[in-house]
Structure 1
Amino acid sequence: MSRVQLSVVALAAALVIGGGAFYLGRSSAVSSHGVGAQGQAPAAAASAAGERKVLYWQDPMTPGARFDKPGKSPFMDMQLQPVYADEASDTGVKVSSQVQQNLGIRTAVVKRADVSASFDAVGAVQFDERLNVAVQTRTAGYLERLAVRAPMERVAKGQALGTVFAPEWLGPLNELIALKRSGASGELVAAARERTRAMSIPADLVRQAEEGSTPNARYTLVAPAGGVIAELGVREGVAVSPGMTLFRIAGLEKVWAVAEVPEAQAVQLKRGQKVSAALQADPGQTFTGTMQEILPQVNATTRTLQARFEVDNRGGKLVPGMLLRLQVAGPTASRLVVPSEAIIRTGTRAVAIVRKDNGAFEPREVKLGAELGDQLEVLQGLAEGDQVVASGQFLVDSEARLRSVLGSLAAAEPAATQASAPASMPASKAAAPAAASYMAQGKVESVEADSLTISHGAIAELKWPAMTMGFNKPSAKAFPDVKPGDSVHFEFKKKGDDYELVSVHRLGGAK
């Protein structure tokens, strides 16, 4: 092979090798680029999936204005806060688990419980006047000896109380003795006995006179029932007369507990209701009783009625003046109850913070029934199994109030206005009425070529607090007489993302 041919062959081989290397490198580059894109796509997708969608930005102090990008608030010296789609679409308020733990937010479950319509009252012990017994004498005489010398002494049934001497009994007794001795007919003796009976001479004295032939006009008064001497009407040696009450004995087997019961609770009382009582000084001593009656009289000052309870006192431990804590049992019924601490009372309504299934918190107005100790009966607003916030609900409620303001403003926007707004237009433009203008008073802090900085008071229409902010001029030559330090009355309107002055009047001067 000639040298020329060898050169041609070498050149062709070089071209083949170079072209193969070029195509191989290109395919490797394309392949590596494709692999990288595929490797990065899941990461980008995961990143996009992990991000929350921001609907708009807002100033928490002025929630009515909305912005399409983050930045500094034109109203306050603070950054705008994002509002996410999952928050705006939810009617409740979400609080992170970490914040819930830091604030000690605790929930309770609304449940049904068998509750009796019972209530507590305090009653004062009194004598049961139905057990009172009066001890009297039916003849004139003298109280020779007194066995009981002081009121409130305890006596037993059949115990001697005193000895009475009745001189008037001597005549009938002597007559009966004489008739027996003379052998008078049975009719005369029977008539004499009837006379002694009419003069209330005890049968024992009559029998003693007939048997012993010696009249005895002294007799002993005994207690007809056990109890205490509630009234002592005589002293030793005094004269007594027929019908005179010498002793009054009050029984202690049963006593009354009289309690002041409010009108609202008195309607629940019925005759025969069971009551359990405990000494206020010693709760360990308990007694049982029943409700006897409600006295038909209302205390105009306290608006209470007196209820009379009969309490068993066979042990004699209760005496008048003691205080009893009464627990009146009522009918048992199944009621929906919630802890008292879970209810926020505003004066006109009651609110509970309910935890929803998705973890958000929602304020809910409820209608309450009776107070059952540390629980409240729920008539409307909650269902069995609902979780309510029992601790930290005021923080959740304040956040819910802010969200409810946002919700009401969003609902008030005309749907057509939002639909017709171009995509490039900021959300704040669509939310604020273009023709609306506002008036306020303030003090000019500085004057620039295209704006005025004014310190003004609160503006209720925009829910602005008192602050210092800049207002654009309609033109550079507008308001030439206004100077720093002037007190002015001004009118402005929203124009784009800013606020523009319509008129400025110095207070006490011309424009």
Structure 2
Amino acid sequence: MRQTTKITMVLVAMAALLALGAMGGGWWAKHKIMSASPAADARTQGATAKQGEAKVLYWYDPMVPQQHFDKPGKSPFMDMELVPKYADESGGTAGVKIDPVIAQNLGLRLAAVTRVPLAEHVDVSGIVGFNERDVAVVQNRSGGFVERVWSLAPGDQVRAGQPLAELLVPEWAAAQYEMLAIRSSGDAALLAAARDRLRLLGMPERAIESLEKTGAVQSRYTVYAPIGGVIQSLDVRTGMTVTAGQTLARINGLSTVWLEAAVPETLAGLVGIGSRATVSLASGQAPIEGRVSDIVPMLQDATRSLRVRIELPNRDGKLRPGMSAQVGLKRESHATALVVPTEAVIRTGKRALVMVASGQGRFKPVEVLLGREIGEQTVIASGLDEGQQVVASGQFLIDSEANLSGVVAQTIDEAAKAPAPALHEADATIRALDPGEVTLAHGPFRTLAMPGMTMTFPLAKPELTEGFKVGDKVRVEVRQSDDGLVVERIEKRGDAQ
């Protein structure tokens, strides 16, 4: 009986312990849920707890960080709660913070924004061609017959004085007999006229002199190459008849050649007459120095390029038309520009960004205006200052982190992007002065095709008319605005008394 009582008491004690355990487990689970609840609901309730430490700047969706909201709630873009952005977080103008160890693991590399001489240098390709100004055209002045043609063809190279063809000119015979008859009469005037007639018939001077010395009539003569070069055309064959004025051959000289380079339309402003040119031939010859001698005024429609002509000496004959070459064109300039490595630029399609290192492991995206590329560097027209550090490797990872953290890129002032407004000038006489306005009897604004008249203009700045009075003769500059013409500048004319 006593043993049964002990067993019963043990069972009761165990039941009590189990009940206490169940109650403790329930309390622990409830406590865990309650302690986890603020973390799960941090996007909506955590802001209140943290406001005592830092101010909430705005709420945002990490998937669309550039869109800001002034209160918490559901994102209109994604099925998620908006995230608060606090004033003490590494966002806004401070940028995103990257741990140095992580930065090293990511392989981040910085480069300085440097100022370099803006050497106006353009690398283009070109083709060696004939100098079209060094051309000799061989023609026949009298009709005749071709009795012999030397073994030549278009494309052959000839030297100056080399024979090309032999012609029979029957018309010369009668003129020569006439000259011989006049010579025997001793009439100097008639003899001079006979010589001129032979010259007009195309008889060479040395043949006329030989006729006077020997008295032997010549009806055949040899046509020689007047210059050395390449035969472009040879339009004579043995036995053919030639007429007066017919072209027998065309020879292009090779003492100088033209190198024509194609400069893209966008770079045309960097090249001018006299620009230095360094020519590197594909054949591996030593580079040749020259200068731009001419710029063809007509743009090539197919390639949208400008033809730049460089005349090169060809004393040894190694420059052959048709050769290809790389041409470096350089024009002297004292201008400078800020540059960054081209790989540091992030192009989004709508704008260009660089990641600027602001110290203490912080980075911020900055919008920039780009200039042209110089080798492996890109000119920065606006947005950066000399000496700043930009990320040249790993910038896309930082940009992604900045987007997820809601960091907004520093933008360029819109006024800096927009070109200066055009100003239109005219002479005028002040008719009335009122606060913020001036009435002018002005002459024509020629750039606006606007005739002279009297009208009232608003002033860009009220102080523009200080020191002026009614009747003053002035020179005004106005700009076009959405509300009409606005006076930007006003000054007294030099002829005003």
TM norm structure 2:
0.61
**Cα deviations across residues 386-407 of structure 1 (Å, max 9, x unaligned)?**
1111001111112222333699
3-state SS, counterpart of residue 370 of structure 1: strand
Q: Deviations over 1:471-509 (max 9, x none)?
A: xxxxxxxxxxxxxxxxxxxxxxxxxxxxxxxxxxxxxxx
Post-superposition Cα deviations, 1:262-318, rounded to whole Å, max 9, x if no partner, equal 33222333333332222245375535231402332451x543344444344333333
Q: 1:84 to 1:186 in 2, by over 3 A?
A: closer
Cα drift, residue 60 of structure 1: 12
2:353 aligned with 1:347, yes or no?
no
> In the alignment, what sits opposite 2:157?
154
Aligned counterpart, 1:145: 148
Matches within 5 A, 1:52-131: 66=47, 87=90, 91-131=94-134
Structure number with greater Rg is 1
Tell me if structure 2 keeps the 8 A contact 1:287–1:312.
Answer: no
Q: Deviations over 1:201-240 (max 9, x none)?
A: 2222222222223212222222222211111111233222
Whole-Å separation in 2 of the counterparts to 1:334 and 1:406: 30
* CA distance 1:62–1:197, shift in 2 (3 Å): same
Specify every segment of 5 or more residues in structure 1 that has no aligned partner in the other structure, as ranges. 1-56, 70-74, 408-511
Q: 1:346, CA displacement in angstroms?
A: 0.8
How much is the aligned-residue C-alpha RMSD, in angstroms?
3.7
| 1:286-305 correspondence runs (5 A) | 286-299=288-301, 301-305=302-306
1:366 Cα deviation after fit = 1.3
- Quick one: structure 1 residues 189 and 132, their matched pair in 2 at CA, closer, same or farther if it must change by over 3 Å? closer
- 2:260 corresponds in structure 1 to 258
State the match for 1:323 in structure 2.
Answer: 324
1:217–1:99 CA distance, 2 compared to 1 (3 A): same
| CA–CA separation in structure 2 for the residues paired with 1:245 and 1:393 | 69
CA distance in 2 between partners of 1:63 and 1:207 (Å): 115
Task: Measure, in 2, the Cα distance between the counterparts of 1:99 and 1:240.
Answer: 89
Structure 1 residues 68, 315: closer, same or farther in 2, change over 3 A? farther
Deviation at 1:198, TM superposition (A): 3.4
Q: Which SS does the other structure have where 2:111 is aligned?
A: strand
1:276-295 to 2 correspondences below 5 Å: 276-282=278-284, 284-295=286-297
Shift of 1:353: 0.9
For 1:219, what is the secondary structure of its paired residue? strand
CA distance in 2, matches of 1:347, 1:61: 36
Tell whether the 8 Å contact from 1:290 to 1:311 is kept in structure 2 after alignment.
no
- CA distance in 2: counterparts of 1:171 and 1:245, whole angstroms: 24
Give 1:258 deviation, angstroms: 3.4
The answer to whether structure 1 residue 163 and structure 2 residue 192 are counterparts is: no
Paired with 2:91 and 2:296, the residues of 1 have a C-alpha distance of 59
Corresponding position of 2:200: 198
Q: Do the aligned residues in 1 keep the contact of 2:263 with 2:305 (CA within 8 Å)? A: yes
Determine the structure 1 residue equivalent to 2:31: none
Out of 206, 211, 214, the residue aligned to residue 209 of structure 1 is: 211
Q: Is the 8 A contact 2:116 2:339 kept in 1?
A: yes
Give per-residue Cα distances to partners, 1:352-403, cap 9 Å, x unaligned: 1111233321211111111112111112221111111100111111222233
- Superposed CA deviations along residues 89-138 of structure 1, whole A, max 9, x for unmatched, are 98132222221221111111110111212222222333222111101111
- Summarize the alignment of residues 376-387 of structure 1 with structure 2, pairs less than 5 Å apart: 376-387=378-389
Residue 401 to residue 283, structure 1, CA distance change in 2 (3 Å): farther
Change in CA separation of 1:212 and 1:295 when aligned onto 2, cut-off 3 Å: same
- Rate the CA distance shift 1:319–1:295 in 2: closer, same or farther, 3 A: farther
CA contact (8 A) 1:140 1:166 kept: yes
Are the counterparts in 2 of residues 152 and 228 from structure 1 also a CA contact under 8 Å?
Answer: yes
Do the aligned partners of residues 142 and 403 (structure 1) sit closer, same or farther apart at CA in structure 2, a change above 3 Å counting? same
Alpha-carbon distance in 2 for matches of 1:359, 1:111: 21
Specify the code of the residue in structure 1 equivalent to 2:317. G
When residues 320 and 61 of structure 1 are mapped into structure 2, their CA distance, relative to the original with a 3 A threshold, is farther
Q: Which residue of 1 aligns with 2:12?
A: none
Q: Is the CA contact 2:211–2:217 (under 8 Å) kept in the aligned structure 1?
A: yes
Count of residues in correspondence between the two structures: 343
Tell me whether 1:388 sits opposite 2:390 in the alignment: yes
- Distance change (3 Å), C-alpha of 1:306 and 1:109: same
1:158 offset after TM fit, Å? 2.3
Gaps of 5+ in 2: 1-37, 51-73, 410-497
| Cα distance change, pair 208–107 in 1 and its aligned pair in 2 (3 A) | same
SS at match of 1:270: coil
Distance 2:249 2:326 in 1: 32
In structure 2, give the amino acid aligned to 1:113.
V
Aligned-residue sequence identity (percent) comes to 39
Match of 1:26 in 2: none
Say if 1:58 and 1:356 are closer, same or farther in 2 by CA, change over 3 A: farther
In structure 2, the CA distance between the partners of 1:312 and 1:290, relative to structure 1 (3 Å rule), is farther
Query: Match of 1:400?
Result: 402
